[in-house]
Amino acid sequence: MDPVLEILEKDARTSPDEIAKLTKLKKEEVKKRIKKYEKEGVILKYKAVINKELIKDSSREVRALIEVNIVPQKDLGFDHIAERIYSFPEVTSCILVSGTYDLLLVVEGKDLHTVSSFVAEKLSPMENVRGTVTHFLLKKYKEDGIMLRRKEANKRIAISY
């Protein structure tokens, strides 16, 4: 992969000047590559990784991983049904996987009821959906290669006999 992309993937706030120094490319060449990657859709978005557990508000959303078993449609394969599923606003990610299930979804809702209603009323009744397994996310330790919690000192009292 292009070193410019590798640097931006690790930290999207790295300036073209910094990237030029790190890669020994000219600043204009770095800017040209970035603009080209944005135009071609290689770079889709710049994003911050946010530790939502540290945000003190009442609007924290519930997230779930949902495994979906589907029957691929003749002449359309998995793509057509996947497109129908990822079109729902509750679905934030949709990935074709190997193994027991075909699709892995990340679904968000304001509470457990919202996510379970999505599964029961929208996802499960769909034609070609054979089954689902829902896993509610309880706590994130690491996201996009970044540890979300710093290790705390062990506060337990040592017991000796």
- 79 in any annotated domain: yes
Q: What is the pLDDT of residues 122-152, one digit of tens each?
A: 999 999 999 999 999 988 888 888 888 766 6
Mean pLDDT computed over every residue of the chain: 90
User: Does the structure show a pLDDT above 60 at 58?
Assistant: no
Range of the domain at 22: 3-40
pTM above 0.85, yes or no: no
Co-location of 24 and 67 in the same domain: no
Co-location of 65 and 34 in the same domain: no
What is each CA distance from 151 to 48, 53, 73, in whole angstroms? 22, 15, 48
Co-location of 77 and 105 in the same domain: yes
Co-location of 92 and 36 in the same domain: no
What is the token pair recorded at 49? 């990784």
Around Cβ 53, how many Cβ atoms within 10 Å? 11
| Count of structural domains within the chain | 2
Co-location of 29 and 77 in the same domain: no
Question: Is the distance from CB of 129 to CB of 88 less than 8 angstroms?
Answer: no
Q: What is the pLDDT of residues 27-47, one digit of tens each?
A: 999 999 999 999 999 999 998
**3-class SS letters over 126-160:** CCCEEEEEEEECCCCCEECCEECCCCCCCCCCCCC
- 155 in any annotated domain: no
Q: What is the pLDDT of residues 68-112, one digit of tens each?
A: 999 988 888 899 999 999 999 999 999 999 999 999 999 999 999
User: Does the structure show a pLDDT above 70 at 55?
Assistant: yes
Backbone angles phi, psi at 13, to 5 degrees: -90, 0
Range of 7-11, 59-63, 115-119, 153-157 with top mean pLDDT: 115-119
User: Does the structure show a pLDDT above 80 at 156?
Assistant: no
CATH number at residue 71: 3.30.70.920
**Which 3 state secondary structure label does DSSP give 113?**
helix
Co-location of 36 and 102 in the same domain: no
**Which 3 state secondary structure label does DSSP give 68?**
strand
